[in-house]
Amino acid sequence: MILSKYRALSAVARLDSRLIRRSLISTQSNDQGIPPPLTGIRVLDLTRVLAGPSCTMLLADMGADVIKVEEVTRGDDTRSWLPPSAPVSPNTPKESSHLPPESAYFLAVNRNKRSITVNFKDPAGLEVVQRLVRSSDVLVENFIAGKLAGMGLGWEDCKVLNPRLVYASITGYGQTGPFREAAGYDVIIEAEAGLMHITGETDRPPSKVGVAVTDLMTGLYAHGAILAGLRSVQHTGKGVWIDCNLFETQLASLANIASNYLIAGKEASRHGTAHPSIVPYQVFPCKDGFLMIGAGNDKQFRLLAERILEKPELADDARFVSNATRVANREALVDIITQVLQRHERDYWIDRFTGLGVPFGPINNIQQSFAHPQVGARQATVEVDHPRAGKVKMVAPPVTYNGKRMPVRRPPPWLSQHTKEVMLELGYSQNEIAELRARQII
Protein backbone atom coordinates (compact mmCIF):
# COMPACT_ATOMS: atom_id res chain seq x y z
CA MET A 1 0.00 0.00 0.00
CA ILE A 2 1.05 3.60 -0.68
CA LEU A 3 0.87 4.61 2.96
CA SER A 4 3.15 1.80 4.05
CA LYS A 5 5.93 3.70 2.34
CA TYR A 6 5.72 6.48 4.89
CA ARG A 7 6.75 4.16 7.71
CA ALA A 8 10.38 4.57 6.74
CA LEU A 9 12.05 7.47 8.55
CA SER A 10 13.81 9.87 6.26
CA ALA A 11 17.50 10.50 6.67
CA VAL A 12 16.71 14.02 7.84
CA ALA A 13 14.37 12.70 10.52
CA ARG A 14 17.05 10.31 11.74
CA LEU A 15 19.58 13.12 11.99
CA ASP A 16 17.10 15.11 14.07
CA SER A 17 16.16 12.25 16.39
CA ARG A 18 17.88 13.81 19.39
CA LEU A 19 15.88 16.99 18.91
CA ILE A 20 12.69 14.97 18.60
CA ARG A 21 13.40 13.11 21.85
CA ARG A 22 14.14 16.40 23.59
CA SER A 23 10.83 17.81 22.28
CA LEU A 24 8.94 14.77 23.56
CA ILE A 25 10.48 15.14 27.00
CA SER A 26 9.49 18.81 27.04
CA THR A 27 5.95 17.94 25.99
CA GLN A 28 5.61 15.26 28.66
CA SER A 29 6.68 17.69 31.35
CA ASN A 30 3.82 20.04 30.34
CA ASP A 31 1.14 17.44 29.67
CA GLN A 32 -1.72 19.49 31.08
CA GLY A 33 -1.89 21.92 28.15
CA ILE A 34 -3.36 25.28 29.16
CA PRO A 35 -6.76 26.23 30.54
CA PRO A 36 -9.12 27.39 27.76
CA PRO A 37 -8.15 31.08 27.61
CA LEU A 38 -11.61 32.43 26.71
CA THR A 39 -13.47 30.71 29.55
CA GLY A 40 -15.95 33.24 30.91
CA ILE A 41 -16.26 35.13 27.60
CA ARG A 42 -19.73 35.04 26.04
CA VAL A 43 -20.04 35.38 22.25
CA LEU A 44 -23.35 36.24 20.61
CA ASP A 45 -23.16 34.56 17.20
CA LEU A 46 -25.48 36.06 14.57
CA THR A 47 -23.63 34.45 11.64
CA ARG A 48 -24.44 31.84 9.05
CA VAL A 49 -22.78 29.59 6.48
CA LEU A 50 -18.94 29.59 6.72
CA ALA A 51 -16.87 32.75 7.30
CA GLY A 52 -18.73 33.79 10.46
CA PRO A 53 -19.33 30.31 11.90
CA SER A 54 -15.68 29.31 11.36
CA CYS A 55 -14.64 32.45 13.28
CA THR A 56 -16.98 31.78 16.19
CA MET A 57 -15.99 28.10 16.29
CA LEU A 58 -12.37 29.14 16.82
CA LEU A 59 -13.49 31.31 19.75
CA ALA A 60 -15.59 28.43 21.09
CA ASP A 61 -12.60 26.08 20.81
CA MET A 62 -10.71 28.43 23.12
CA GLY A 63 -13.41 28.19 25.76
CA ALA A 64 -15.84 30.98 24.89
CA ASP A 65 -19.54 30.39 25.50
CA VAL A 66 -20.81 30.85 21.95
CA ILE A 67 -24.57 31.24 21.64
CA LYS A 68 -25.60 30.75 18.02
CA VAL A 69 -28.85 32.55 17.21
CA GLU A 70 -30.69 30.89 14.32
CA GLU A 71 -33.85 31.40 12.31
CA VAL A 72 -36.77 29.66 14.03
CA THR A 73 -37.86 27.07 11.47
CA ARG A 74 -34.81 26.40 9.26
CA GLY A 75 -31.79 27.62 11.18
CA ASP A 76 -28.42 28.20 9.55
CA ASP A 77 -28.60 27.78 5.76
CA THR A 78 -26.04 24.98 5.88
CA ARG A 79 -28.35 22.77 7.94
CA SER A 80 -30.21 22.08 4.69
CA TRP A 81 -27.08 21.53 2.59
CA LEU A 82 -27.33 17.76 2.39
CA PRO A 83 -26.47 15.08 1.47
CA PRO A 84 -24.11 14.13 2.93
CA SER A 85 -25.39 14.05 6.46
CA ALA A 86 -24.87 12.11 9.66
CA PRO A 87 -27.32 9.24 10.27
CA VAL A 88 -30.16 9.95 12.70
CA SER A 89 -29.79 7.93 15.87
CA PRO A 90 -32.77 5.85 17.01
CA ASN A 91 -32.28 7.51 20.40
CA THR A 92 -32.63 11.04 19.05
CA PRO A 93 -34.27 13.44 21.54
CA LYS A 94 -38.05 13.56 21.08
CA GLU A 95 -38.10 17.34 20.74
CA SER A 96 -35.76 17.11 17.75
CA SER A 97 -37.49 14.25 15.94
CA HIS A 98 -39.08 16.60 13.38
CA LEU A 99 -35.74 17.90 12.19
CA PRO A 100 -33.83 16.68 9.11
CA PRO A 101 -30.51 14.84 9.59
CA GLU A 102 -27.50 16.88 10.66
CA SER A 103 -25.68 18.00 7.53
CA ALA A 104 -21.95 17.33 7.26
CA TYR A 105 -21.40 20.97 6.27
CA PHE A 106 -23.04 22.34 9.42
CA LEU A 107 -21.23 19.84 11.62
CA ALA A 108 -17.88 21.00 10.21
CA VAL A 109 -17.92 24.53 11.68
CA ASN A 110 -20.25 24.58 14.68
CA ARG A 111 -18.72 22.48 17.46
CA ASN A 112 -18.56 23.79 21.02
CA LYS A 113 -21.57 26.11 20.50
CA ARG A 114 -25.08 26.40 21.88
CA SER A 115 -28.03 26.94 19.53
CA ILE A 116 -31.12 29.04 20.18
CA THR A 117 -33.77 30.11 17.68
CA VAL A 118 -35.17 33.65 17.73
CA ASN A 119 -37.27 35.68 15.32
CA PHE A 120 -35.78 39.07 16.11
CA LYS A 121 -37.81 40.79 13.40
CA ASP A 122 -40.56 40.67 16.02
CA PRO A 123 -40.23 43.14 18.92
CA ALA A 124 -40.44 40.32 21.46
CA GLY A 125 -37.63 38.46 19.69
CA LEU A 126 -35.61 41.66 19.42
CA GLU A 127 -35.85 41.99 23.20
CA VAL A 128 -34.39 38.48 23.58
CA VAL A 129 -31.38 39.39 21.43
CA GLN A 130 -30.97 42.73 23.22
CA ARG A 131 -30.77 40.87 26.54
CA LEU A 132 -28.08 38.70 25.00
CA VAL A 133 -26.21 41.81 23.85
CA ARG A 134 -26.22 43.15 27.40
CA SER A 135 -24.78 39.90 28.78
CA SER A 136 -22.21 39.23 26.02
CA ASP A 137 -18.60 40.25 25.58
CA VAL A 138 -18.56 39.77 21.81
CA LEU A 139 -21.13 39.97 19.03
CA VAL A 140 -20.29 38.54 15.59
CA GLU A 141 -22.60 39.13 12.62
CA ASN A 142 -22.41 38.67 8.86
CA PHE A 143 -25.45 40.55 7.59
CA ILE A 144 -25.20 42.96 4.65
CA ALA A 145 -23.83 46.30 5.83
CA GLY A 146 -26.56 48.36 7.47
CA LYS A 147 -29.07 45.51 7.73
CA LEU A 148 -28.85 45.03 11.50
CA ALA A 149 -28.80 48.78 12.09
CA GLY A 150 -32.19 48.90 10.39
CA MET A 151 -33.44 46.31 12.91
CA GLY A 152 -32.13 48.07 16.00
CA LEU A 153 -29.06 45.83 16.38
CA GLY A 154 -26.34 47.88 14.68
CA TRP A 155 -23.12 48.94 16.36
CA GLU A 156 -24.54 52.27 17.49
CA ASP A 157 -27.54 50.51 19.06
CA CYS A 158 -25.55 47.75 20.73
CA LYS A 159 -22.82 49.94 22.22
CA VAL A 160 -25.57 51.79 24.12
CA LEU A 161 -26.80 48.48 25.52
CA ASN A 162 -23.25 47.31 26.30
CA PRO A 163 -20.45 49.93 26.14
CA ARG A 164 -17.75 47.22 26.52
CA LEU A 165 -18.98 45.10 23.60
CA VAL A 166 -16.63 43.89 20.88
CA TYR A 167 -18.86 44.05 17.80
CA ALA A 168 -17.45 42.22 14.76
CA SER A 169 -19.05 42.67 11.35
CA ILE A 170 -18.12 40.24 8.56
CA THR A 171 -19.31 41.32 5.12
CA GLY A 172 -18.44 40.89 1.49
CA TYR A 173 -16.90 44.31 0.88
CA GLY A 174 -16.83 46.24 4.15
CA GLN A 175 -18.95 48.90 5.82
CA THR A 176 -18.03 51.70 3.39
CA GLY A 177 -17.43 52.14 -0.32
CA PRO A 178 -19.62 51.65 -3.41
CA PHE A 179 -20.01 47.89 -2.84
CA ARG A 180 -20.89 48.11 0.87
CA GLU A 181 -24.44 46.80 0.33
CA ALA A 182 -23.43 43.95 -1.99
CA ALA A 183 -23.72 40.42 -0.64
CA GLY A 184 -20.47 38.52 -0.17
CA TYR A 185 -19.99 35.07 -1.71
CA ASP A 186 -16.66 33.29 -1.55
CA VAL A 187 -16.58 32.29 -5.20
CA ILE A 188 -17.52 35.80 -6.37
CA ILE A 189 -14.78 37.37 -4.25
CA GLU A 190 -12.31 34.78 -5.57
CA ALA A 191 -13.17 36.13 -9.02
CA GLU A 192 -13.18 39.85 -8.19
CA ALA A 193 -10.11 39.94 -5.93
CA GLY A 194 -7.61 38.14 -8.13
CA LEU A 195 -7.51 34.60 -6.78
CA MET A 196 -9.39 32.95 -9.62
CA HIS A 197 -7.24 34.75 -12.20
CA ILE A 198 -4.11 32.99 -10.88
CA THR A 199 -5.75 29.59 -10.27
CA GLY A 200 -5.88 26.92 -12.96
CA GLU A 201 -3.85 25.72 -15.91
CA THR A 202 -2.18 28.18 -18.30
CA ASP A 203 -4.26 27.17 -21.30
CA ARG A 204 -7.57 26.67 -19.48
CA PRO A 205 -10.21 29.06 -18.08
CA PRO A 206 -9.77 30.42 -14.55
CA SER A 207 -10.75 28.01 -11.77
CA LYS A 208 -12.04 28.36 -8.25
CA VAL A 209 -10.13 26.79 -5.38
CA GLY A 210 -11.52 23.44 -4.24
CA VAL A 211 -12.68 24.74 -0.84
CA ALA A 212 -14.01 28.18 0.17
CA VAL A 213 -10.63 29.54 1.23
CA THR A 214 -11.65 33.22 1.15
CA ASP A 215 -14.43 32.53 3.65
CA LEU A 216 -12.07 30.57 5.87
CA MET A 217 -9.30 33.17 5.74
CA THR A 218 -11.82 35.88 6.61
CA GLY A 219 -12.91 33.84 9.61
CA LEU A 220 -9.28 33.59 10.72
CA TYR A 221 -8.72 37.34 10.34
CA ALA A 222 -11.94 38.08 12.22
CA HIS A 223 -11.10 35.74 15.09
CA GLY A 224 -7.69 37.37 15.51
CA ALA A 225 -9.24 40.83 15.38
CA ILE A 226 -11.75 39.86 18.06
CA LEU A 227 -8.96 38.73 20.38
CA ALA A 228 -7.29 42.11 19.82
CA GLY A 229 -10.62 43.81 20.52
CA LEU A 230 -11.01 42.00 23.83
CA ARG A 231 -7.51 43.07 24.78
CA SER A 232 -8.37 46.67 23.88
CA VAL A 233 -11.44 46.57 26.11
CA GLN A 234 -9.25 45.41 28.99
CA HIS A 235 -7.04 48.48 28.51
CA THR A 236 -9.63 51.14 27.68
CA GLY A 237 -12.94 49.90 29.09
CA LYS A 238 -14.54 50.82 25.77
CA GLY A 239 -16.02 48.55 23.13
CA VAL A 240 -14.81 48.36 19.55
CA TRP A 241 -16.40 47.84 16.14
CA ILE A 242 -14.44 45.45 13.92
CA ASP A 243 -15.00 45.71 10.16
CA CYS A 244 -13.77 42.52 8.45
CA ASN A 245 -14.63 41.57 4.88
CA LEU A 246 -13.97 38.95 2.25
CA PHE A 247 -12.72 41.35 -0.43
CA GLU A 248 -9.89 42.90 1.55
CA THR A 249 -9.01 39.54 3.10
CA GLN A 250 -8.55 38.09 -0.36
CA LEU A 251 -6.48 41.05 -1.52
CA ALA A 252 -4.24 40.66 1.54
CA SER A 253 -3.93 36.94 0.89
CA LEU A 254 -2.51 37.52 -2.58
CA ALA A 255 0.74 38.09 -0.64
CA ASN A 256 3.75 38.21 -3.00
CA ILE A 257 1.47 38.26 -6.06
CA ALA A 258 -0.03 41.54 -4.83
CA SER A 259 3.41 42.89 -3.97
CA ASN A 260 4.74 42.03 -7.44
CA TYR A 261 2.03 44.22 -8.94
CA LEU A 262 2.14 47.07 -6.43
CA ILE A 263 5.94 47.37 -6.44
CA ALA A 264 6.82 46.49 -10.03
CA GLY A 265 3.54 46.61 -11.97
CA LYS A 266 3.95 42.91 -12.78
CA GLU A 267 0.70 41.26 -13.80
CA ALA A 268 0.16 37.66 -12.65
CA SER A 269 -0.91 34.67 -14.71
CA ARG A 270 -2.00 31.08 -14.23
CA HIS A 271 0.62 28.33 -13.99
CA GLY A 272 -1.42 25.33 -12.82
CA THR A 273 0.70 23.55 -10.21
CA ALA A 274 3.93 24.94 -11.70
CA HIS A 275 6.01 27.81 -10.29
CA PRO A 276 6.83 30.76 -12.56
CA SER A 277 10.39 31.05 -11.22
CA ILE A 278 11.42 27.49 -10.24
CA VAL A 279 11.76 24.34 -12.39
CA PRO A 280 11.00 21.51 -11.72
CA TYR A 281 8.31 22.57 -9.26
CA GLN A 282 4.94 21.05 -10.21
CA VAL A 283 2.77 17.95 -10.32
CA PHE A 284 4.01 15.09 -12.51
CA PRO A 285 2.08 11.99 -13.61
CA CYS A 286 3.30 8.52 -12.68
CA LYS A 287 2.05 5.27 -14.12
CA ASP A 288 -0.90 5.16 -11.69
CA GLY A 289 -1.13 8.54 -9.97
CA PHE A 290 0.57 11.88 -9.43
CA LEU A 291 3.47 13.34 -7.46
CA MET A 292 4.21 16.92 -6.53
CA ILE A 293 7.95 17.57 -6.90
CA GLY A 294 9.74 20.73 -5.80
CA ALA A 295 13.46 20.74 -6.61
CA GLY A 296 14.07 24.34 -5.58
CA ASN A 297 17.86 24.55 -5.91
CA ASP A 298 20.76 23.04 -7.85
CA LYS A 299 21.67 20.54 -5.12
CA GLN A 300 18.15 19.17 -5.02
CA PHE A 301 18.00 18.98 -8.80
CA ARG A 302 21.25 17.01 -8.92
CA LEU A 303 19.86 14.56 -6.33
CA LEU A 304 16.69 14.24 -8.39
CA ALA A 305 18.62 13.56 -11.59
CA GLU A 306 21.29 11.23 -10.19
CA ARG A 307 19.68 9.39 -7.28
CA ILE A 308 15.99 9.29 -8.13
CA LEU A 309 15.52 9.46 -11.89
CA GLU A 310 18.89 7.74 -12.54
CA LYS A 311 19.65 10.21 -15.31
CA PRO A 312 22.86 11.86 -14.05
CA GLU A 313 23.49 13.51 -17.40
CA LEU A 314 20.63 15.94 -16.74
CA ALA A 315 22.53 17.65 -13.91
CA ASP A 316 25.41 18.56 -16.27
CA ASP A 317 23.29 19.35 -19.32
CA ALA A 318 23.91 23.00 -20.25
CA ARG A 319 20.16 23.50 -20.56
CA PHE A 320 19.59 22.49 -16.94
CA VAL A 321 22.72 23.39 -14.95
CA SER A 322 21.08 26.27 -13.08
CA ASN A 323 17.57 27.23 -12.11
CA ALA A 324 17.66 30.08 -14.63
CA THR A 325 18.49 27.70 -17.48
CA ARG A 326 15.92 25.20 -16.25
CA VAL A 327 13.26 27.92 -16.31
CA ALA A 328 14.36 28.91 -19.84
CA ASN A 329 14.11 25.25 -20.94
CA ARG A 330 11.08 24.36 -18.84
CA GLU A 331 9.16 22.48 -21.52
CA ALA A 332 12.04 20.20 -22.45
CA LEU A 333 12.88 19.31 -18.84
CA VAL A 334 9.29 18.72 -17.81
CA ASP A 335 8.85 16.39 -20.79
CA ILE A 336 11.97 14.37 -19.85
CA ILE A 337 10.94 14.01 -16.19
CA THR A 338 7.39 13.05 -17.18
CA GLN A 339 8.60 10.28 -19.49
CA VAL A 340 10.77 8.77 -16.75
CA LEU A 341 8.13 8.96 -14.01
CA GLN A 342 5.46 7.33 -16.18
CA ARG A 343 7.51 4.13 -16.36
CA HIS A 344 6.63 3.15 -12.78
CA GLU A 345 3.82 3.32 -10.23
CA ARG A 346 3.58 6.07 -7.64
CA ASP A 347 4.62 3.72 -4.83
CA TYR A 348 7.89 2.98 -6.60
CA TRP A 349 8.76 6.67 -6.82
CA ILE A 350 7.77 7.36 -3.22
CA ASP A 351 10.33 4.76 -2.18
CA ARG A 352 13.01 6.36 -4.34
CA PHE A 353 12.32 9.91 -3.11
CA THR A 354 12.06 9.08 0.60
CA GLY A 355 14.99 10.24 2.70
CA LEU A 356 16.99 12.07 0.02
CA GLY A 357 15.94 15.62 0.84
CA VAL A 358 14.18 16.40 -2.41
CA PRO A 359 10.75 17.89 -1.58
CA PHE A 360 7.94 15.69 -2.86
CA GLY A 361 4.49 14.48 -1.98
CA PRO A 362 1.84 12.24 -3.49
CA ILE A 363 -1.44 13.80 -4.61
CA ASN A 364 -3.74 12.15 -2.11
CA ASN A 365 -7.51 12.00 -2.34
CA ILE A 366 -9.48 12.77 0.83
CA GLN A 367 -9.57 9.14 1.98
CA GLN A 368 -5.81 8.86 1.55
CA SER A 369 -5.30 12.19 3.32
CA PHE A 370 -7.10 10.98 6.45
CA ALA A 371 -5.32 7.61 6.25
CA HIS A 372 -1.96 9.44 6.32
CA PRO A 373 0.15 8.17 9.24
CA GLN A 374 0.59 11.72 10.53
CA VAL A 375 -3.17 11.97 11.14
CA GLY A 376 -3.10 9.08 13.60
CA ALA A 377 0.20 10.09 15.16
CA ARG A 378 -1.04 13.62 15.81
CA GLN A 379 -4.64 12.63 16.66
CA ALA A 380 -5.80 15.11 14.05
CA THR A 381 -9.38 13.85 14.13
CA VAL A 382 -11.71 13.54 17.08
CA GLU A 383 -14.89 11.56 17.70
CA VAL A 384 -17.73 13.13 19.69
CA ASP A 385 -21.11 11.90 20.91
CA HIS A 386 -23.93 13.77 19.19
CA PRO A 387 -27.43 13.50 20.72
CA ARG A 388 -29.08 13.05 17.30
CA ALA A 389 -26.35 11.39 15.27
CA GLY A 390 -24.48 9.16 17.71
CA LYS A 391 -20.72 8.99 17.19
CA VAL A 392 -19.56 11.78 14.87
CA LYS A 393 -15.99 12.09 13.61
CA MET A 394 -14.58 15.52 12.80
CA VAL A 395 -11.30 17.32 12.29
CA ALA A 396 -9.79 18.25 15.65
CA PRO A 397 -8.71 21.79 16.53
CA PRO A 398 -5.37 22.03 14.67
CA VAL A 399 -3.29 23.76 17.37
CA THR A 400 -1.74 22.25 20.49
CA TYR A 401 -0.62 24.02 23.67
CA ASN A 402 2.14 22.24 25.57
CA GLY A 403 1.28 19.22 23.48
CA LYS A 404 -2.47 19.27 24.21
CA ARG A 405 -5.40 20.40 22.08
CA MET A 406 -8.32 22.41 23.32
CA PRO A 407 -11.12 19.95 24.09
CA VAL A 408 -14.29 19.53 22.07
CA ARG A 409 -16.64 20.22 24.97
CA ARG A 410 -19.87 20.15 23.00
CA PRO A 411 -20.87 18.49 19.73
CA PRO A 412 -22.39 20.79 17.11
CA PRO A 413 -25.91 21.58 18.39
CA TRP A 414 -29.14 20.52 16.83
CA LEU A 415 -31.48 23.37 15.92
CA SER A 416 -32.80 25.19 19.02
CA GLN A 417 -31.20 22.63 21.34
CA HIS A 418 -30.39 25.22 24.01
CA THR A 419 -33.19 27.75 23.58
CA LYS A 420 -34.91 27.02 26.88
CA GLU A 421 -31.60 26.82 28.75
CA VAL A 422 -30.43 30.21 27.47
CA MET A 423 -33.83 31.86 27.94
CA LEU A 424 -33.82 30.82 31.59
CA GLU A 425 -30.34 32.28 31.96
CA LEU A 426 -31.68 35.55 30.54
CA GLY A 427 -34.35 35.70 33.21
CA TYR A 428 -37.40 34.51 31.28
CA SER A 429 -39.95 32.44 33.21
CA GLN A 430 -41.24 29.06 32.09
CA ASN A 431 -44.59 30.66 31.19
CA GLU A 432 -42.92 33.42 29.15
CA ILE A 433 -40.86 30.86 27.29
CA ALA A 434 -43.97 28.78 26.52
CA GLU A 435 -45.80 31.86 25.26
CA LEU A 436 -42.94 32.90 23.00
CA ARG A 437 -42.75 29.36 21.60
CA ALA A 438 -46.48 29.36 20.91
CA ARG A 439 -46.08 32.61 18.96
CA GLN A 440 -43.04 31.18 17.09
CA ILE A 441 -40.86 33.99 18.40
CA ILE A 442 -38.40 31.36 19.65
List active site positions. Answer: 215
Residues 6+ apart with CB under 8 A from 347: 1, 2, 5
Long-range Cβ contacts of 149-157 (<8 Å, 24+ apart): 151/120, 151/121, 151/126, 152/126, 153/46, 153/120, 153/126, 153/129, 155/241
Beta pairing, strands 65-70 & 42-46: parallel
List, in sequence order, every beta strand (DSSP E) within 251-346.
281-285, 290-294
Contact status, residue 187 vs residue 208, Cβ threshold 8 Å: yes
Q: Which residues contact 228 (CB under 8 A, 6 or more apart)?
A: none
Q: What is d(CA 421, CA 419) in angstroms, rounded to the nearest whole number?
A: 5
The helix or strand, by DSSP H or E, that contains position 144, with its residue range, turns out to be none
Check if the beta carbon of residue 291 is closer than 8 Å to that of residue 362.
yes
Query: If DSSP states are collapsed to H, E and C, what string results for 234-268?
Result: HHHCCCEEEEEEHHHHHHHCCCHHHHHHHHHCCCC
Which residues, in sequence order, are bridge partners of residue 42? 65
What is the SS3 assignment for 419?
helix
Chain CA centroid to CA 19, Å: 30
Query: Are 354 and 2 within 8 A, CB to CB?
Result: no
Do the Cβ atoms of 124 and 436 come closer than 8 Å?
yes
Whether the Cβ atoms of residue 94 and residue 113 lie closer than 8 Å to each other: no
CA distance 245 to 229: 16
